[in-house]
Amino acid sequence: MSNELNALLGKGSEFNGKLNFEGSVRIDGRFSGEIFSDGTLIIGEGAIVTAEINVATVAVYGEVTGNITATDGVELHAPASLRGNITSPALHIDKGVFFDGACQMTTPQERPAPPALPHRAAQRPLSPAQPLPPAAPTSMPVSQPVRNTGVFTVDGARTTGELTHKF
């Protein structure tokens, strides 16, 4: 994320409508409506946003009600609160974040599926005492995910599978 802001909706400000921007914008006040950009949106701590958000990257520290679609990634940092669905190729959720919604992992470009698990491994479910299999090397392509599945980063740990929890 770029540290240079193109615009700021400061604390105590309120805006209703449609926001289109280039570069980076930070919202610390209240916003309701729609947000579109190929840039970065930062929703500061204390901000209250009720909007459909469609941007490249979004970092949320405040409160959001509405769906987020991001072409690059979504970051939810404590004490963020999100009530809505996420569609993004990358998701980071800090400990202490409230998330009530569904997540659909996407890819920026169509990528081939990774090799299938060996037959014997596919038959043997993991028990709670067994560790997860090692993550694929970073040089391997990411699979075409199915709704609510993919690779998630939650509190610094890499997890693969379904995201069905309410945080």
Summarize pLDDT for 101-111 with one digit per residue, the tens. Answer: 999 998 765 43
Residue 81 has pLDDT above 70, yes or no: yes
Residue 133 sits at φ, ψ, to 5 deg, of -60, 155
User: What pLDDT digit, counting tens, does each position of 84-135 carry?
Assistant: 999 999 999 999 999 999 999 987 654 344 445 444 444 444 444 445 455 4
Note the pLDDT of residue 119: 47
Residue scoring higher pLDDT (7 or 132) = 7
Note the pLDDT of residue 5: 87
pTM, rounded to two decimals: 0.65
Q: Are 86 and 103 in contact (CB under 8 A)?
A: yes
pLDDT (mean) for 20-30: 96
Distance between CA 9 and CA 30 in Å, rounded? 8
Position 142 confidence tier, pLDDT thresholds 50, 70, 90 = very low
Residue 49 sits at φ, ψ, to 5 deg, of -120, 125
